[in-house]
Amino acid sequence: MNGRRVVVIGGGHAGLSVIKALAGKGFDVVLVERRENLVFRPGLTFVAAGLRRPEELLLGLDGVDRFGARLVKGEAIRVDPGERVVVLSDGSRLGYDYLVLAVGGEPWDGGVPGLRIVNLNPWSLEGAAALAEKLRVLPAGARVVVGAFKPPYPCPPAPFELAGLLAAVSRGRFRTTMVFFEEKPLPKLGREVSGALEDLLARLEVEFLGGFTLDEVDVKGKALLGSHGRQGFDVLALVPPFRPPRLLAESGLSPEGSWPVVEPWRGFRHPRYDDVYIVGDAAMPGLGAPMSGFLAGHSARAAAKAIAGDESSPGRAYAECFIDVLVDGVAAYCDFTDLIYSGGGPHCHVIAEGGLAGAYKRGYEAWWRDSIAPPQT
């Protein structure tokens, strides 16, 4: 043990990846997390479609001690980077030599009146389970509207998978409409990937409304008001935009309402504090990169290497996207290295279509549970 303490705030993919990368390096690693369980988020679309049970996605965090880390269950409400102290909601204080903020983002309604009242957020376990129950008793001919109306949000392909799954399981019993803030599906990933997603939605007979902006939700009339006039719905399940956690601004680590600036070439270090690192979803919007589990892992490994004084490369900053809609689907590979480190790219291509995309996704979950998630008792 070298006596140096690393405090990691946030026990999601990025936080756990940091802990695992630091295992055996001699640091006193402390994980601060308020949640009892971690949720395997890529499975939420299957919960929403009624194809998986919510409890299948829950993983306890107590096993982090197997990675040589100590779990402190609590909420970090402030960081004093000058004093190198984390303040918890119960008033206790944790000193650190290095701080890693893996705090993600916070979902909100985007300032759209009425949205919070009727929307079933499919990117939360509660919202996904509620959506599955609604769909179970939905009358024939009803209209379900899904999608995303404003960035950023975690896992950009997720709304496309949800739309496809709902169309597949409905077997024509209800109509599925997808709204999206860009004209085409994920155009920044290039024509090949965007075109494959467009073709997938067409094969599944999902109505796609691109270039969609949302001004208001008519709660009583069950309608979306915006760029495409008045769009009625029976069930609404939009992925909300995410905003920076208040912890960052209140600790002076980012301007109010803005995503933080990081230096990826220095292990995603904060530009003003050489002992503070910001990784995962909280780091990506400021770089123009998507919130992705793969990129969370990359940033976590880079931070761990910087803390340990390891000057070797953390590898390519790539992501694999799996859109699994049972017997159909699309899998894509995207290299974001140029985008993150020099402002170019990304470079993406389709690696699988059809049912093979689902095999890729199941393989990813098996790897994640074996390599990233804490051992389960």
pLDDT by 10s per residue, the chain, length 377: 677 999 999 999 999 999 999 999 999 999 999 998 899 999 999 999 999 999 999 988 988 988 899 999 999 999 999 999 999 999 999 999 999 999 999 999 999 999 999 999 999 999 999 999 999 999 999 999 999 999 999 999 999 999 999 999 999 999 999 999 999 999 999 999 999 999 999 999 999 999 999 999 999 999 999 999 999 999 999 999 999 999 999 999 999 999 999 999 999 999 999 999 999 999 999 999 999 999 999 999 999 999 999 999 999 999 999 999 999 999 999 999 999 999 888 999 999 999 999 999 999 999 888 888 787 76
Same domain, yes or no, for 269 and 221?
no
Structure tokens at 368: 């994640």
Same domain, yes or no, for 81 and 213?
no
pLDDT of 130-147, one tens digit each? 999 999 999 999 999 999
Question: Does residue 40 fall inside a structural domain?
Answer: no
Question: Does residue 140 fall inside a structural domain?
Answer: yes
- Boundary-marking domain end, from 270, 295, 315: 315
- Boundary-marking domain end, from 290, 315, 340: 315
Write the CATH number for 156: 3.50.50.60
Question: Do residues 242 and 132 lie in contact, with contact meaning Cβ atoms separated by under 8 Å?
Answer: no
Same domain, yes or no, for 164 and 295?
no
Q: Give pLDDT, residue 259.
A: 98
Same domain, yes or no, for 101 and 189?
no
| Closest among 193, 133, 121, 192 to 162, alpha carbons compared | 121
Domain range for residue 222?
Answer: 107-242+319-371
Same domain, yes or no, for 97 and 120?
no
Question: Does residue 260 fall inside a structural domain?
Answer: yes
Question: Does residue 44 fall inside a structural domain?
Answer: no
Same domain, yes or no, for 115 and 142?
yes
Question: Does residue 67 fall inside a structural domain?
Answer: no
Same domain, yes or no, for 158 and 298?
no
| Closest among 284, 366, 278 to 319, alpha carbons compared | 284
Same domain, yes or no, for 228 and 279?
no
Same domain, yes or no, for 208 and 78?
no
Same domain, yes or no, for 199 and 342?
yes
Same domain, yes or no, for 211 and 340?
yes
Q: Give pLDDT, residue 377.
A: 62
- Boundary-marking domain end, from 315, 330, 354: 315
Total domains, the chain = 2
Question: Does residue 358 fall inside a structural domain?
Answer: yes
Q: Give pLDDT, residue 125.
A: 96
Same domain, yes or no, for 126 and 221?
yes
Question: Does residue 60 fall inside a structural domain?
Answer: no
Q: Give pLDDT, residue 1.
A: 61
Question: Does residue 48 fall inside a structural domain?
Answer: no
